[in-house]
Structure 1
Amino acid sequence: MDEYDKNNLKKVNNKLFRYVDDLPIVTKMYEDELKSYVDEQNSLKGTIKFTHEFEENNQLNYLNTTLTWNTTEKRIDIKWYRKDTGSNRLLHYESGHHKSVKINIIKNMTNRIIDTTRNNIQQKDDLNKLSGILIKSKYRKYFIDDTIMTCLKQVNNNIIPTTNTIQTFKNSKNDMEYILSLPYVNGMKVLKRKFEKLNNKLDFSYPKKLNSLVTSTIKPPSKAVVYQIECECGSIYNGETKVGLTNRSKQHDSIIEKDDENSSSEMVQHHRQNLSQCMLNPNLSFMIDSDADYRKRRIKEVIYSVINNSINKHDNIDNTWNNILHKESIKIRQHIKFKKKINTLKQTE
């Protein structure tokens, strides 16, 4: 982006700022000129592509702020921004968290607003908005006002942690005999005070968070697998694929159905050598391992093929590995048996 900025954004750049790949730009261009310029940049060869938003009513939203063009004082005013789609809810006051957590939420949000703008009118407007969000989450009005006022006083008095304060905290922490962490429930603050009298520190943890109880992302099963097909005569075919077992089985079926005597398929040759007295059925294939990395998947195919004395062609493995494979062969066969059992259960459901 730095290189792109130097070489390609000179024309538009009266004043440019950047956070990662988000660019607020002060420019003399009108909206149609800017749109043409963006289209021109996107037509250049390269992977960087742009979208753009133009100010409306002298305002533009950028990250978590609203930039307002102050035409009177010839400057940009900055204030806190909440998306229209935002839920406007924070941690519920009646949730099972220690009071210090709720205080810190108010303090952090208040300090963010204070740091965003020093304009008193905008600050007041944003803090009233924050107060409304907290009230929706059942925070008491007096509790909100007291915490916000504490933050404002600290800023007005320029109260910041000094080196001595930090050193005192470190010393007090080192003086603690034990530091413990326990799941928080109501009433734990009594235990905390008793621990402190014994010169011990008690911190609270919250193990049952929502993301620990539900799956945050549901990933589809990997299509890059190592699989096994067993013949009626006891022979085994091991293979690997990146297209998924279902598609690979269909490919095997199609080749077997053609029954070409010149086919390079080991399955077809196996059937012809045994005069079609036995059958490798691709529809009964089952996954025994998976790996998105092609090289690792090929190595796994070799290991399973060597263990099973598979009929498929596979890469060679160095003889120094033979002792290890022999030693681990029982575990590997148990793993295959387990995978086969799972596949059987799925088919009977």
Structure 2
Amino acid sequence: MKTGLFMGSSLAPILVEWVLDEVILQALEKLDFNPQFWMAYVDDHLTSIPRNKIDMVKTALESFDKDITFTYESEDILTNEINYLDVTVKRNNDGQIMTNWYHKPIASNRLLNYYSAHPIQMKFNMVKNFIRKVFTFSHKSFWNNNLIKIKNILSKNNYPVKIIDKLISSVKSDNFKAKTDAPQRFNLSNYSFLSNNNDRSCDKLTSNNRYIYSSKQYIPKLSESISKVCQYFVPEGKLAMKPTNQNSKFFVNTKKKINKIDNSGVVYSIKCNDCTKLYVGETIQKLGSRIDQHKNECKKVIEGSNTKNVAALAEHVKQYGHSFDFDGAKILKFERNKLKLQIQEVNQIIKNEQIVCNYKTDKKDYTNTYYNLIVNRNVQSN
């Protein structure tokens, strides 16, 4: 599509499916024949039509809207094969269809390396899911060749031969019941994806057995020992290990930064130009709009046209004749939820209570316990 939603929109895939469904239904009504099948995954489609009807179908699809264009790829004339997503679809001489696992020749084949700092069970589960995927997408006649590919890929990711063979045997014994004894018609209902019954991470929650999850950084050997201790003393607890290194440490964020005044849902501070005081505030709107409101309030109190129900910042200007550094406003916290935003504002007021010019009523609803915790933590950090 030449026009549409911006990339990354969570709404885009849903709307694409709705629009394409309507496009296809209207196009089918204009054809003088019925395709044998039509499968779709978002904007990738697979169908079976006579070769001399390709242009007719393309014209019918593009007649929906002038901004919608389609490209197509036909099956190979010699092999009767076509690649669709992660599957190679092969048409036999009797008209039936067989499938095989497909990955691009330029694929890096990079998986979670055996020597990476991740829990061993995470690596094993990743490998077994990869093997299941290959078997599930493949007809039984392709298994031997695919096993060779699997072993080569895992070897390049430093998995020992004994472990590879063990994991392959484990997958084979996991009640693999896909209907692969004979060539199949291309129907996803003919395939059953596997689940490892021995994998406790897949345990389902019940009303009488709820788990408590906690995320901790993974340290080889130590994390395994901690997990065993926690499982013994807290059976309902589940530790989820995460790696120390994150992608953000290695890749630069190429997105254009938002201008400070265009940020919304923030707790901010503005310093006084004439004394050590500062004002802490929160706004769910853009910071620039809130600063403009402060400027207008200050202008009115100076002129004497507005002296009641003004913010503490304007009250400080009125009482002492000072001015504030609006251009140097700082963002202290980001928060989309209005209630949490107000809580963050009070936290910042308490942390800076010796220098803020805010009204004392801003923190009146805070209990002494929380107040003391914030103050003590602020003192220790300083």
TM-score w.r.t. the length of structure 1 is 0.59
Deviations 1:168-202 (A, max 9, x none): 8758x9498x8654322121223333444435556
Report whether the alignment pairs 1:7 with 2:26: yes
1:337 paired residue among 328, 334, 341: 328
Q: Give the 3-state SS of the residue equivalent to 1:68 in structure 2.
A: strand
Report whether the alignment pairs 1:219 with 2:255: yes
2:153 paired residue among 128, 133, 138: 133
8 A contact 2:128–2:171 mirrored in 1 = yes
1:186 paired residue among 220, 242, 245: 220
Taking the TM superposition and a 5 Å limit, the aligned residue runs for 1:195-206 are 195-200=230-235, 201=237, 203-206=239-242
8 A contact 2:174–2:196 mirrored in 1 = no
Size of the aligned set, in residue pairs, is 256
Looking at structure 2, the residues matched to 224 and 198 of structure 1 have their Cα atoms a distance apart, in angstroms, of: 48
Looking at structure 2, the residues matched to 16 and 308 of structure 1 have their Cα atoms a distance apart, in angstroms, of: 66
Looking at structure 1, the residues matched to 125 and 73 of structure 2 have their Cα atoms a distance apart, in angstroms, of: 35
Taking the TM superposition and a 5 Å limit, the aligned residue runs for 1:7-46 are 7-10=26-29, 11=31, 13-14=34-35, 15-30=37-52, 33-35=53-55, 37-38=57-58, 41-42=61-62, 44-46=64-66
Taking the TM superposition and a 5 Å limit, the aligned residue runs for 1:46-61 are 46-56=66-76, 57-61=79-83
2:293 paired residue among 300, 303, 324: 303
Looking at structure 2, the residues matched to 216 and 78 of structure 1 have their Cα atoms a distance apart, in angstroms, of: 40
2:111 aligns to what?
90
Residue 108 of structure 1, CA deviation: 0.7
What code does the residue aligned with 1:49 have?
Answer: T
Report whether the alignment pairs 1:109 with 2:134: no
Compared CA separation, residues 204 and 334, structure 1 to 2 (3 A): same
What code does the residue aligned with 2:124 have?
Answer: I
What code does the residue aligned with 1:206 have?
Answer: K
Between structures 1 and 2, the one with greater helix share: 1
Looking at structure 2, the residues matched to 25 and 62 of structure 1 have their Cα atoms a distance apart, in angstroms, of: 10
Deviations 1:63-109 (A, max 9, x none): 111111122x4212111111122101101101111110111011111
2:314 aligns to what?
326
8 A contact 2:23–2:61 mirrored in 1 = no
2:173 aligns to what?
153
Deviations 1:204-256 (A, max 9, x none): 42143432324564112458977xxxxxxxxxxxxxxxxxxxxxxxxxxxxxx
Looking at structure 2, the residues matched to 90 and 161 of structure 1 have their Cα atoms a distance apart, in angstroms, of: 20
Is there any run of 5+ residues in structure 1 with no aligned partner, and where?
227-294, 311-317, 340-349
Residue 123 of structure 1, CA deviation: 2.5
Looking at structure 2, the residues matched to 51 and 321 of structure 1 have their Cα atoms a distance apart, in angstroms, of: 64
Looking at structure 1, the residues matched to 69 and 46 of structure 2 have their Cα atoms a distance apart, in angstroms, of: 16
Report whether the alignment pairs 1:100 with 2:121: yes
TM-score w.r.t. the length of structure 2 is 0.55
Taking the TM superposition and a 5 Å limit, the aligned residue runs for 1:44-83 are 44-56=64-76, 57-71=79-93, 73-83=94-104
Compared CA separation, residues 58 and 302, structure 1 to 2 (3 A): same
Looking at structure 2, the residues matched to 180 and 9 of structure 1 have their Cα atoms a distance apart, in angstroms, of: 52
8 A contact 1:13–1:25 mirrored in 2 = no
Looking at structure 2, the residues matched to 199 and 18 of structure 1 have their Cα atoms a distance apart, in angstroms, of: 46
CA RMSD of aligned residues (A): 4.2
Is there any run of 5+ residues in structure 2 with no aligned partner, and where?
1-19, 179-193, 263-284, 301-305, 331-382
Deviations 1:6-65 (A, max 9, x none): 1113427512111222210101124xx524642564365344321111112311111111
